Structure 1
Amino acid sequence: MPIFVAVDLGAETGRVLRGTFDGGRLEVGEVHRFVNRPVALPQGLHWDVLALFADLSAGLTAALADRGGDRVAGVGIDAWGNDFALLDRDGRLVGNPWHYRDRRTESSTRLVARRVDPAVLYRTTGTAPLSINTASQLVAMEGSAQLDVAERLVMLPDLFGYWLSGRLVTEQTIASTSQLLDVGTRRWAAGVIEALGIPGRLFATDVVSPGTRIGSLLTDRRVPLWAVAGHDTASAVAAVPAGAPGFGYISSGTWSLVGLELPEPVLTDEARLAGFSNEAGVDGTVRFLRNGTGLWLLQRCRAAWGALPYSDLVAAAGTAPAFRSLVDPDAPCLVAPDDMPGRLAELCRASAQPVPAGRAELVRCVLDSLACKHRWTLERAEELAGVRAEVVHIVGGGAANPLLCQLTADLTGRPVLAGPVEATAVGNLLVQARAAGELSSLAEIRQVVRASMPPRHFEPRPSDAVEEAYARFRTLVDTGDMI
C-alpha cells in the first residue's frame, strides 16, 4: 500500500505524520512531534525556521526509515498563513522570519489603506485588512536593509519545500492569505504590489495549485514532494467530511476560522467591512471565512495555571453555570499572551458582569463566548453570501472539546459534526493521494474521511436561556462594549 507523509506546522507545535491508504480508508499515525518556539530578540519576535527545519527533517528521516515494504508515494507540507521568509539572490535566507504577533505592524493597515483604496484592494485580492497579512508586514519593512537585499519572498511551507527539494514555488492557498494574490486569476496582483511600494522582484516564482509535483526529496530522489493545500486551514477544509454542499465549517484551534465553501468569491463592500476573506481552496473553491480568536484564550489560561490537562478543565467547566459571563473573544486586550485569566476577569468587570470565580467558571466563560461568536460569524457569512448552512462541521482541536461542540450546536441551532481532530494532516495526506492518482476528486477525498474517521454528532437543544445569552452577547459585540 502507498504511504504518504505529512509535515504539519502549527504556531505551537509541529508534527510529522504518516498515512497509509488502502484505496478506501486512511490510517494516520504520528511519527514525530516537536515544539515551535518563537524567539524574542531585542528588535522583535521571530520564528526559528532553522530549528523547525531540523525537527521536520528528523521526523521525515524516521517516517521514511520505518515503512516496511510499502512504497512512499509522497511528502507534503502545510503551515500557518501570512508569515514568510526572504531569500537573497543566491537563494539564501535573509534573517529569521518575523512572527505575525510582532508589534511592528500595528499601524501598517492604515498605511496600506492610504496607498490602495480599501474597496479596490478587496475587489482585487478578496482579503480582509489585517495587521498580520503579508502585505501589512512588507509595508512595515519598507526601507529596511533586509528588504533591500531580498530577491524572493517565499511563504513558510514553500520555504521548507525549497530546502527539501531545491525547487522554489508558491502554493496557491498559502499565497491567498497574503493580501497580494489576485482572487480571480490566483496569480500575484502586480498592480497592488506596485502601488504598495513593495519590490516586484520578490514575486517572480510560479504560483501552483494543490496537487502539483514540486520535485523530489534531495535526500531520496524516489520520493516525490507534492504541493498540498499549503495553508493549514485549506488542508483542514479539504478534510471536512461533508457528503453534500450547503455546510458551514469551523476550523477550531488557536484561531477560530468560521466560514462557507463557495464556488465564487464575495467581494462586496459589506463583506469587506464585516472582515471576511475569500481564500483559495482545493479545486478552485473559495473559503469565505472570518478569522477570529479561538482556543488561544484557553491555551493562555492553561499556561498561566501550569499546563493542566485540557480534559480536566473542560469537564470542570461543564459543571459551572452556563452563560453567566460573556466576552467578545476578539476584544483587542485579549491579543497579548500574558495574564489571560486577569484580562478576561477585567473584561467581565468592565462590562458589569459577574467576574468568574475560579478556573471552571473562567473556562466556561471562554467556551460560552466562543460558541456565541461562532453563531455571530456564521450568520453574517450566510447573510453576505446569500446561502444557508444546514449543518456545521467543526474540525481541528476544537472537535475534541465536547462542551464547545454542544454549545455551538445549541447556539447555531444546527447539527454539529465534529472531527476529524487531525483534519489538517488528513487533508494534506489525501491531497497527496489524489495527486498520486489514488483518488480523483475533492468529493472522493471527503468520502474517504467519512469512512476513515466518522464524525461525532451533536444535536441542537433550543432554549430560552440560549437565546437570552446570545442577545446579551450581541449587545456586547454590536455596541463594542469591550476593552
Structure 2
Amino acid sequence: MKRYLALDMGAESGRLMAVSIDKEISTQEIHRFQTPVKIDSRNRRCWDFPKIMDEVITALTKASATGPYEGLAVDTWGLDFGLLDKDGVIIELPVSHRDHRTDGMLAKAFELVGKDRLHNESGCQLLEVNSIYQLLAIALQTPDEFEKAKHLLFMPDLVLYALTGVIGTEYTIASTSGLYDVPKDRWAQELAKDLGIPIEIFGKVENPGTIRGELKKEIQDKTGIGPIKCIATASHDTASAVFATPLVSPGSAYISSGTWSLMGVELPKPVVNEITMNQRLTNEGGYNRSIRLLRNIMGLWLIQEVRKNLKENGEDYTYAQLVELATKEV
C-alpha cells in the first residue's frame, strides 16, 4: 500500500488529506483550516500567505504522527498569484480576485487590444477577476510592483515554493490566467506586451505530475515529517476534481461546486470561436494536456460570506442550519 498527502485549498478553506492506495483508495482528513484574508497597506483584500503557511506547517506536523508518506501534492483555486523579487522574496501579499482593483479592467483591456484578441489568444472566458486583468490593474495602478518583480507564481506554485524553495509553473493553473494561449500551448506573449504586462516574469510551464522538489530541511525538522517529495499535481483544484471524476464517455458533463461552480466537458482539444466567446465559455487545461471546456457560474460564495459575517457577530451556523433557516422563511 502506498500513502500520500494531498493539500487541497479553496478560497474558503483548506485541508490536508491522507490518501491510501491499495486495492481501493481511501482518504482521511488530517487538518482543516479557514483560508485567512487580510487587508494590506494599499487597502486591498489579500490572502494572508504567512498564516496560510502556518496552517500548512500545523497540518504537516499532525501528519508526521501517521507517516511515512510517498509524496505531497498541492492544489488551490485559480486566478490569484504572488510576485517574487530577484531574491525570491514575496513583494506583496497575494491579492484576492474578489478585490475591487480589477473594476473597469475588462473594459480597459477591450480598449487596448479588443475583445476578440482577449478570447482568441487565450481561449479564456472574459471575466474581470481573471489573472490577466489583475495584472493589467498592477500595470495601471501599482507599476512599482512590476519594477521589483522577477517571477510570478500562481497560488499552488507559491505554496510549493514555500515548501521546497523551487520555482515552477504548472500547466492547469497557468491555463486559468487568461494569458496562456491554450490553443497554441504557450504564453500569449504579444497579448501581454500590448497590455503592458512583462512576459519575462512567467516561467516554463510543467506538466501536472511533475515532482517540484523535496520538502525543505527546516520544514522537515520543524514538523517531524522527514524528507518527502512535493508534487505539482493537476494543481488547479477543478482540474484535479475533473481528473478524479469517473466520466463514463466522451462528452460527459460535470459540475464542480465550491466558492465558484463550474460546468463543462472534457475534450482532447480546445474550442475557440465566436460562440465560445459570446457564450462566455473557457478552455482550461487538464491532466495530460486535455481541455476542460466549461463555464464559470455563480457558486457558494454568497452563502459562505453570509456564514462568515454571522460568525463574526457571534452566530455560528453550519451550512445545513442556514439552509433549514432559509427554508422556514420561504
* TM-score normalised by structure 2 residue count: 0.90
Find the counterpart in structure 2 of residue 213 from structure 1: 211
Measured after TM superposition, the shift of residue 304 of structure 1 is 5.5
What residue number does 1:354 align with? none
Rounded Cα–Cα distance in structure 2 between residues aligned with 1:45 and 1:304: 16
Give 1:345-356 correspondences, 5 Å limit: none
- Partner-residue secondary structure (3-state), 2:132: helix
Instruction: Give the match for residue 326 of structure 2.
Output: 359
- Code of the aligned partner of 1:27: S
Tell me the distance in 1 between the aligned counterparts of 2:64 and 2:121.
42
Of residues 73, 77, 84, the one that matches 2:81 is: 84
* Equivalent residues of 2:73, 2:233 under 8 A apart: yes
* Cα distance in 1 for residues equivalent to 2:81 and 2:74: 14
Residues 54-453 of structure 1 correspond to what in structure 2 (within 5 A)? 54-67=54-67, 71-142=68-139, 143-203=142-202, 205-219=203-217, 220=220, 222-303=227-308, 306-314=315-323, 316=324, 359-360=326-327
Deviations 1:118-150 (A, max 9, x none): 212312210112111111011111152222111
SS in 2 for 1:52: helix
2:22 aligned with 1:8: no
Distance 2:147 2:83 in 1: 10
Q: CA deviation at 1:234?
A: 0.7
Task: Give the drift of 1:307.
Answer: 3.5
Whether the 8 Å CA contact 2:251–2:267 is kept in 1: the answer is: no
Instruction: Give the whole-Å Cα distance in 2 for the aligned partners of 1:84 and 1:262.
Output: 27
**Matched residues in 1 for 2:296 and 2:125: separation?**
9
Q: 2:223 matched to which residue of 1?
A: none
- Displacement of 1:89 after TM fit? 0.5
TM-superposed deviation, 1:308: 2.4
Q: Deviations over 1:19-75 (max 9, x none)?
A: 1111x31111111111112112452211101110111122122213322xxx41111
Higher helix share: 1
Q: 1:158 is matched by which residue type in structure 2?
A: D
Q: 2:84·2:149 contact (CA, 8 Å) conserved in 1?
A: yes
Q: Check the 8 A contact 1:16/1:30 in 2, yes or no.
A: yes
In structure 1, give the amino acid aligned to 2:154. Answer: M
Give, in angstroms, the shift of residue 184 of structure 1: 2.4
Bigger share in strand: 2
- Whether the 8 Å CA contact 2:12–2:304 is kept in 1: the answer is no
Tell me the CA shift for residue 264 of structure 1.
1.5
CA contact (8 A) 1:258 1:290 kept: yes
In the alignment, the residues of structure 2 paired with residue 303 and residue 218 of structure 1 have an alpha-carbon distance, to the nearest angstrom, of: 34
Q: Hey, what's the Cα distance between the residues in 2 that align with 1:210 and 1:160? A: 15
Cα deviation for residue 301 of structure 1 reads 4.0
Deviates more, 1:215-224 or 1:180-189: 215-224
After superposition, the C-alpha distances for 1:344-399 in whole angstroms (9 at most, x for unaligned) are xxxxxxxxxxxxxx72166x7xxxxxxxxxxxxxxxxxxxxxxxxxxxxxxxxxxx
Contact 1:172 1:186 in 2 (8 A): no
Cα pair 1:88 1:149 within 8 Å, conserved: yes
1:273-328 per-position Cα deviation (integer Å, ceiling 9, x unaligned): 111110001122111111111122333444465342322444x4xxxxxxxxxxxx
Question: Aligned AA for 1:119?
Answer: D
- 2:51 counterpart letter in structure 1: A
Query: Is the CA contact (8 Å cut-off) linking 1:108 and 1:140 kept in structure 2?
Result: yes
The answer to which of 185-194 and 154-163 deviates more is 185-194
Change (3 A) 1:301 1:217: closer
**Kept after mapping to 1: 8 A contact 2:73/2:231:** yes
Q: Does the 8 Å CA contact 1:38/1:47 hold for their aligned counterparts?
A: yes
Q: CA RMSD in A?
A: 1.8
Distance of 1:60 and 1:172 partners within structure 2: 26
Question: What one-letter code is carried by the residue in structure 2 that aligns with 1:242?
Answer: L
Unmatched tracts of structure 1, length 5 or more? 317-357, 365-483
Could you tell me how far 1:2 is from its partner in structure 2? 1.4
Between the aligned partners of 2:95 and 2:301, the Cα distance in structure 1 is 20
Give 1:187 deviation, angstroms: 2.3
Normalized against structure 1, the TM-score is what? 0.63
Show the counterpart of 1:396. Answer: none
Higher radius of gyration, 1 or 2 = 1
Give the distance between the partners of 2:18 and 2:259, measured in 1 at CA: 24
Q: Can you give the 5+ residue segments of structure 2 that lack an aligned partner in the other structure?
A: 221-225
SS in 1 for 2:317: coil
- Tell me by how many angstroms 1:94 deviates: 0.2
Distance in 2, Cα, partners of 1:45 & 1:310: 24
Q: Distance in 1 between matches of 2:17 and 2:252?
A: 28
- Please say if residues 180 and 187 of structure 2, whose CA atoms lie closer than 8 Å, have aligned partners that are also in contact: yes
> What letter corresponds to residue 208 of structure 1 in structure 2?
E
Alpha-carbon separation, structure 1, partners of 2:87 and 2:317 = 47
1:190 Cα shift?
A: 1.3
